[in-house]
Structure 1
Amino acid sequence: MIEYENDSVWMEFSIEGFQRIECPDNWSESLMDDPENYLVAADLSVSTTPAMAETEMNEIIPGFTVSFGSNWLGFTGDGKRINEIRTPVTYNCLDGSEELPWEIGPGEEARGLVVFEVPDLQGEVVYRPWYLDGGGWSWEFDVTQSSGA
């Protein structure tokens, strides 16, 4: 949940789960930073309130963008920081019907996948948006039993 100045809630989100995926027809896996890496998708559910329209944040960036790469960090199962988890393949792998929309406006609900490129099937992702001054959320994932798309 994200609150703003007057303690009004303007967004709630959750990760419903993680799954290992493969790109359809393997067309974009050539864009992976390392061919030994895996693609892991987080299933996000996002709901914004009409109060979002009244925030200074909405004036800076109309609509809420959860997919933006620099807001996400990744760690391997043994705690090592992953340099980049939102790589070119993660933006191009899925068709638009599966992805979380890029912009979610005030009073909207959306659900979709955000894809990460990771070296391990176990680890942690952190969502740390720039406007929270270092705050954020983290989720552990383990897709060792997931067979891919």
Structure 2
Amino acid sequence: MVSTSDYSQTVESWQQILAPYSMGYRIKLLSQLLSRKFTEKLEPFGLTPFHWLILCCLWQEDGLPTSSIGDKLKQVGGTLTGVLDRMEERSLVRRERDSHDRRIWRIWLTDAGKELETVLPPISAELRDQAMQGISLAERELFSQLLNQAITNLS
């Protein structure tokens, strides 16, 4: 038989894993809030946060194979293909077959996609700064490292 005091201690220790106090719930809430705010900021450009992620990949390395973008973003092909279709329709990217392996499609930024690199990162930085108000640079770095470690632990 479990004593009342043992039961109370167990319930108390669970408080940190139960919503709305759990780390997972709070990370999900933070993600939703950031996504909602970022979606609002991207709306005038006709973009979504997923477009932003693809653009970021290509700003870092233009001409990536579709599979590499999917790997970097942990996305399945069908989802990525549809988003790339819409980005191509909007003349943000173009697709070309790889000259050495015709099975591979490479994704290249158009001039319009390249121009967004001067416009969108400051918008993202402004939102990040808003979210991180009152948090020192050292704490931000530690937070980023801890998130990376948790992601690695679960991957």
Q: Sort the TM-score into its range (normalised by shorter chain).
A: under 0.3
**TM-score under structure 1 length normalisation:** 0.24
**TM-score under structure 2 length normalisation:** 0.24
Q: Please state which structure has a larger fraction of its residues in strand.
A: 1
Which of the two has higher C-alpha Rg? 2
